Amino acid sequence: MGAGAVRKPVPATLIPGDGIGPEIVEAVLQMLAAVGAPFVWERREAGMAGVETAGDPLPAETLESIRRTGLALKGPLTTPVGGGFRSINVRLREEFQLYANVRPSRTMVPGGRFDDIDIVLIRENLEGFYVGVEHYIPIDGDPHAVAIGSGLNTRAGSRRIAQFAFDYAVRTGRKKVTIVHKANILKALTGLFLETARTVGEGYADRIKMDERIVDACAMQLVLNPWQFDVIVTTNLFGDILSDLIAGLIGGLGMAPGANIGEKAAIFEAVHGSAPDIAGKGVANPVAVALAACLMLDHVGCGDQAARLRNALELALKSDGVRTRDLGGTATTSQLVNAVLLRLKD
């Protein structure tokens, strides 16, 4: 869509989230307004904020809103460790069958340990060890003497994510997809994933190169020579871990966005969590959520606005050198926002 064209409003759900969530989401709303994003927001709560306002970490009206809009931008949500409620992020993925988690990582701040990184990790989002089938076996009065957790991968789920990854590679002009697994040890669980993804990849052999790695070797190679990777497709837990590793290659969690895509809904968020250690201090990096908003703009066909915002973010960080503490700078959240808004006026 060309500059000046009038876009239809796009209803979308906005979940500010916990910890640093409200401050960085507010920052991103200013950027989205400046690029003329078409979103008309329905604000809803979830996580600890949901518990405080509605007595529920995932209130019914939040679910209803996402069901209606099929589109959400979400700040990070706090999940109690060990006991407490089950991760709301996992529940949202299950509720809306958001089977593909897309996590692109591209260097925007040069001069770090690694330059020119451009890797997209595609993570299966519903299966694996995240199904939460866990229990304890009590022995001799110790109720937690043994802990058992089961993983679950299906042929259909593996095929769907592999197809998504290869289609994504074709659509975005990528050259190679690396299948990451641990089929040498978890022979059934990740063997099924490997075997199915390979079969899918063979169907794309004329367009996309296929490659495979065992997850531990992949982790090492991502540090030794990350430039060999293009698109990575993997199971849920490995994807969770490797995407944080890859975020580290481009300056940390404050730079890494994620999209959770399903057939009927899509939820966009930062890879990072609610960062309780810096919440309320006005120093959080809003770039990951801003980049998530760019993925959301791409998703609704506003690629031009996404490109403008990405460009302004890059100029503010790179040319103007306005960086938050996590990127080695001294800027506050609002100073970075102002730098981006100024660049959007250029």
Query: What positions carry a catalytic annotation?
Result: 130, 182, 216, 240
Q: Which is nearer to ligand NAI, 42 or 269 (CB)?
A: 269
Residue closest to 336 by CA, chosen among 79, 27, 120: 27
Radius of gyration of the chain (CA): 20
Q: Is the dihedral of CA 158, 159, 163, 166 positive or negative?
A: positive
Residue 263's contacts (CB-CB under 8 Å, 6 or more residues apart) are 97
Q: With CB under 6 A as the contact rule, which of the stretches 109-117, 128-136, 183-191, 283-291 interacts with ligand NAI? A: 283-291
Q: Which is nearer to ligand NAI, 120 or 177 (CB)?
A: 120
Phi first, then psi: give them for residue 210, nearest 5 degrees: -115, 145
Residue type, 323: R
Binding mask 98-127 for ligand NAI (x = CB under 6 A): ------------------------------
Q: Which is nearer to ligand NAI, 57 or 254 (CB)?
A: 254
196: contact with ligand NAI by CB under 6 A: no
The count of residues interacting with ligand NAI (CB under 6 A) is 21
CB of 292 to ligand NAI, least distance (A): 10
Q: Which is nearer to ligand NAI, 84 or 301 (CB)?
A: 84
79: contact with ligand NAI by CB under 6 A: yes
Distance between CA atoms of 179 and 201, rounded to whole angstroms?
Answer: 9
- Structure tokens given for 22: 């409200």
Distance between CA atoms of 239 and 235, rounded to whole angstroms?
Answer: 6
Binding mask 297-326 for ligand NAI (x = CB under 6 A): -----------------------------x
274: contact with ligand NAI by CB under 6 A: yes
178: contact with ligand NAI by CB under 6 A: no
272: contact with ligand NAI by CB under 6 A: yes
Concatenated DSSP letters of 159-216: HHHHHHHHHHHHHTT--EEEEEE-TTTSTTHHHHHHHHHHHHHHTTTTTSEEEEEEHH
DSSP 21: H
Q: Which is nearer to ligand NAI, 74 or 181 (CB)?
A: 74
Do residues 246 and 269 touch, judged by C-beta distance below 8 A? no
Which residue has the closest beta carbon to ligand NAI? 273
336: contact with ligand NAI by CB under 6 A: no
Binding site for ligand NAI (CB under 6 A): 20, 24, 76-79, 89, 253-254, 269, 272-278, 284-285, 288, 326
